[in-house]
Amino acid sequence: MTPALEALVAATETALADPSLTNDRDRAEAISPAMAALLDDPIPIPNEARQSLDGLAVGNLLYADPTARFHLLAVVFPEGTSSGVHHHGCWGVIGYLNGSDEETRYRAVRDDGDRAELEEVSRHRWTKGDITYLIPPHDGWHRVKSAGPGDGVSVHVLCRTPLEHPHRFWDRSSGAVLPYPFVEAAPGRFRAEVTGLS
Ligand SMILES: [Fe+2]
């Protein structure tokens, strides 16, 4: 843990415990200044957390709340890789550290849990210093594509634990929505893997 990460954890704990913050967006905005400070810090995260998993996208665990309310990941997308379209079922705060991320957001015209119809609502290219939120159900669908230069590295504060974070994948060709759980591919290193894709 770097001092900037410790401050981000403390800010998240404070936001989650603050009774005056009554919704996920207000809590995300309360966490955001500590994320901004981390992104501006000369040593924001340990260097080893910037590593891909032998060239594959990975989420390197930076911190897990002992009461399972949230966790921090350094998400590494090698240049040119994409996440596919997916949904986060609970809140998140994302800050961009390296490279860039072409993020497409979608609106669910219909979402039955295992089938969905989505339409694109926005497209942004995020770079170092930018912060975005995941606020489901409406702001939960997106796709990220690492547009370089270099690996895309972003810090995610995400609800629950990696293994309990609700994550679903949209198969654009069939409209099917499939589980997309984080799987611990190596100690403290998580990959989202689609289950049931035909
Ligand atoms: Fe995502």
CA of 58 from ligand 1 middle (Å) equals: 12
CA of 81 from ligand 1 middle (Å) equals: 13
Q: In the predicted model, is pLDDT for residue 198 greater than 70?
A: no
Least confident window among 16-20, 131-135, 192-196: 192-196
Q: What is the pLDDT, as a whole number, of residue 139?
A: 87
Q: What is the pLDDT, as a whole number, of residue 195?
A: 84
pLDDT digits (tens, 9 = 90+) for 44-81: 999 999 999 999 999 999 999 999 999 999 999 999 99
Q: What is the mean pLDDT of the segment spanning 189-195?
A: 94
Q: In the predicted model, is pLDDT for residue 82 greater than 90?
A: yes
CA of 175 from ligand 1 middle (Å) equals: 18
CA of 67 from ligand 1 middle (Å) equals: 23
CA of 94 from ligand 1 middle (Å) equals: 9
Cα Rg for the chain, rounded, in angstroms? 16
- Exposure string over 2-40, b if 16+ CB within 10 A, otherwise e: bebbebbbebbeebbeeeebeebeebbebbbebbebbbe
CATH topology of domain 47-191: Jelly Rolls (2.60.120)
pLDDT digits (tens, 9 = 90+) for 98-131: 999 999 999 999 999 999 999 999 999 999 999 9
CA of 92 from ligand 1 middle (Å) equals: 9
Q: What is the mean pLDDT of the segment spanning 151-155?
A: 97
How far apart (Å, rounded) are the C-alpha atoms in residues 122 and 144?
12
Q: Tell me the sheet residues that pair with 104.
A: 123, 143
CA of 161 from ligand 1 middle (Å) equals: 15
Q: How confident is the model at residue 197 (pLDDT cuts 50, 70, 90)?
A: confident
Beta strands at 152-159 and 92-98: parallel, antiparallel or unpaired: antiparallel
139 close to 121: Cβ distance less than 8 angstroms:
no
Report the 10 Å Cβ neighbour count for 66. 6
If one compares 168 and 198, the residue with the highest pLDDT of the two is 168
Q: Got the DSSP string for 43-106?
A: S-S-GGGG--BTTB-EEEEEEE-TTSSEEEEEEEE-TT-B--SEEESS-EEEEEEESEEEEEEE
Q: How confident is the model at residue 20 (pLDDT cuts 50, 70, 90)?
A: very high
* Mean pLDDT, all residues of the chain: 96
CA of 135 from ligand 1 middle (Å) equals: 11
CA of 134 from ligand 1 middle (Å) equals: 8
CA of 2 from ligand 1 middle (Å) equals: 24
CA of 43 from ligand 1 middle (Å) equals: 24
For residue 170, give both structure tokens.
């949209």
Instruction: Fill in the amino acid letter for 95.
Output: G
CA of 166 from ligand 1 middle (Å) equals: 11
Q: What is the mean pLDDT of the segment spanning 84-110?
A: 96
How far apart (Å, rounded) are the C-alpha atoms in residues 139 and 90?
10
CA of 44 from ligand 1 middle (Å) equals: 21
